[in-house]
Structure 1
Amino acid sequence: MADRKPCKVCNFTRQKSYGLVVPSLEELKIKGSEFLGFTPQDPVTVVLEDDGTIVKDEAYFLCLPLNTKFMLLHEKDTWSPLRRVDGGTAWMARDSMMLESDVVDAALGAPWLELALQLKQDLASVILMSEEDLQSLVDVPCPELATALGFPEKKTENLQETLQMVLDRREEERQSKELLQLFLKAVEKEEGQTLEQTSDEVNVSVDVPDGMEVDQASGFISRTLMVLKGKTSPETRLSTEDLQMVVAKGVEVMQQVLGWDKVRTSTLLQECESELSRRLQQVQAVQSMRGNTQQGDSNQSSNEKNHEECTEMPSQRGK
């Protein structure tokens, strides 16, 4: 086993630094990425922290002195020399670095810090965050989040507003899906009752058309199977009862009946479901129009009756 080598790693801002003991350059990349909070799948480049020399060769890594400090860079990160301020302003830079270090160290235990670092590296990562993660970033005080991101407070405030909009949109989508599911359940219940009533009426006397045999294995009339297998857009050529039967059978049963693969059979069932839904909407629209028409006819009959009474009254007075 190779000798283990003590060293240090930091990120490109030098705000996070950790000590490691690793046997190889590859292990340095793996452990360093883990400690610095990098995503394991993202490639990193190892450079010397003091001058930015890229370290790719394993032998060169092993020849470096103990406790060498390395910097791990993502694809968009770049090495830059450590800023040094001399003269009478040196204490200002030192106090500023201590302040930033205190803020970062205080936030290390906060769950939102890792999320903030992800956003700093790639703002598009917000798409993959859960609602809980988004809410935690929204709840963070703006100054603290701005410090962690390295953004101005105004930009950070706009970012939090955007995250809140993402949360609101997801909530609206969830409510819409719930309403749609309730509607579909109500439609299925209504169709089930109609189908049951129709079945009871048909079972009294079922006549199979001449030349149309019923397939005992599937329960379909041979004509229905011919339409399903040989016609373009067969769902438009089937009766509502046949469509309901096809949908009720399910993908696995229809796959055996038709002898098709799962993808083709699933597509057919989806088209049948869409046709059923379309017909239901048409029925509802017709019923609505019929109700309005009946109400209009009733009003018209009442007006005609009143007109007839007014016409008869002069003749009665003449008599």
Structure 2
Amino acid sequence: TIVEDQGYFLCLPSNTKFMLLHNNETWAPSRKIDGGTAWMARESMLLEADTVDASSAAAPWVNLAQQLKQDLTSIILMSEADLQSLVDAPCSQLASALGFQDKKAEELQETLQRTLDRKEEERQSKALLQLYVKAVEKEDRLQEGQSHQGPVDVDVPDGVEVDSVSGFMSRTLMVLKGKTSPETRLSTEDLQMVMSKGPEVMRQVLGWDSERTAALLQACKAELSTRLQQIQAMQSISNTRLDGSRQPNATNTEEAAETPGSS
């Protein structure tokens, strides 16, 4: 997980110490063991190892919940796998581990799921952009060398095969058919495409009954509406901050204009 330096240092304990190592140097804790008590130290180390092994049987999200309970800001250092384990944790048990009410724990899981969905959408957009750039470059090369040649077959990149009947990419169809709550894992463009097809076409594409298809379209419509509201909220916040920064400047200008007249 990549985080900003400032955010990383804010999450460190106050007694953290840093050590600079030169090239080819490694750090190891200093151990001073008296010859007569070495066997006791070895037994102690073995017992500690046994204790760690025993605690490792707990679910992964339990340790993550303990970290969050001690310092909620440590969440910015967690990987996507850690966040997913918190999302998949039973809500009531997570609330108990964090000392939250069930409603607050549920809101936390929903926020984490939206964060994971946004990151997945960003990855998809980046991958599609890279594929588009490669396709344009390949097309340019083919046009340069095709002046005295016959038509050349262009290979379709793996992972972006398009279904000739529905027009959906194979990956999108796989998400629609195989995952729970697929609307949260689709890009905004895919959601708009699903809505534009309509219930009859989607029923034929997915091979579902009318009731299940209608439920999917309703969920996609709600997800699109939610994302639009989020965009509008962010724009409203941005405009509010911009207006707030302008008002002090306007007040100072008015005061400066009134000062010469008063004297």
Q: Which one has a larger percent strand, Structure 1 or Structure 2?
A: 1
Q: Which one has a larger percent helix, Structure 1 or Structure 2?
A: 2
TM-score, normalised to structure 1, is 0.29
TM-score, normalised to structure 2, is 0.35
Q: Which has the larger radius of gyration?
A: 1
